[in-house]
Amino acid sequence: MKRAVFLDRDGVVNHAMVRDGKPYPPANLAELEIPDDVPAALRALRSAGFLLIGVTNQPDVVRGTQTRAMVKTLNAALCARLPLDEIRVCYHDDADQCDCRKPAPGLLLQAAQAHGIDLAASFMIGDRWKDIEAGRRAGCRTVHIEGMYAEVWGDARPDARVRSLREAAQWILRQEKSAMKALSELHVKMFADGADKAEMLEMHRNPLIKGFTTNPTLMRKAGISDYQAFARDVLSAIKNRPISFEVFSDEFAEMGRQARLITQWGDNVYVKIPVTNTRRESALPLIRELSTAGIKLNVTAMMTLEQVRDASAALAGGPPAFVSVFAGRIADTGRDPVPLMAAAVELVGMYPNVELIWASPRELLNIFQADAVGCHIITATKDILKKLELVGKDLSEFSLDTVKMFYEDAKKAGYTLTW
| Per-residue confidence (pLDDT) for residue 64, from 0 to 100 | 93
Same structural domain, 38 and 153: yes
Same structural domain, 125 and 274: no
| Per-residue confidence (pLDDT) for residue 182, from 0 to 100 | 65
Instruction: Give the total number of structural domains in the chain.
Output: 2
Same structural domain, 364 and 241: yes
Tell me which of 151 and 189 has the higher pLDDT: 189
Q: How far is CA 355 from the centre of its chain?
A: 25
pLDDT per residue as tens digits for the range 320-357 = 999 999 999 999 999 999 999 999 999 999 999 999 99
Provide the mean pLDDT of the chain: 92
CATH number at residue 109: 3.40.50.1000
Q: Find the mean pLDDT for residues 310-318.
A: 97
User: Out of 102, 130, 189, 272, which one is annotated catalytic?
Assistant: 272
| Per-residue confidence (pLDDT) for residue 393, from 0 to 100 | 75
Same structural domain, 167 and 193: no
Could you give the maximum distance between any two Cα atoms of the chain, in Å? 83
Q: Find the mean pLDDT for residues 380-384.
A: 86
Same structural domain, 221 and 366: yes
Report if residue 161 sits inside a domain: yes
Cis peptide before 361, with omega less than 30 degrees from 0?
no
Same structural domain, 149 and 43: yes
Same structural domain, 206 and 270: yes
Report if residue 402 sits inside a domain: no
Report if residue 415 sits inside a domain: no
Q: Of 148, 179, 210, which residue is a domain's last?
A: 179
Same structural domain, 135 and 22: yes
| Per-residue confidence (pLDDT) for residue 397, from 0 to 100 | 79
Residue 272 among the catalytic residues? yes
Could you list the residue range(s) of the whole structural domain that residue 305 is in? 186-380
Report if residue 9 sits inside a domain: yes
Please, which pLDDT band fits residue 383 given cuts at 50, 70 and 90?
confident
Report if residue 366 sits inside a domain: yes
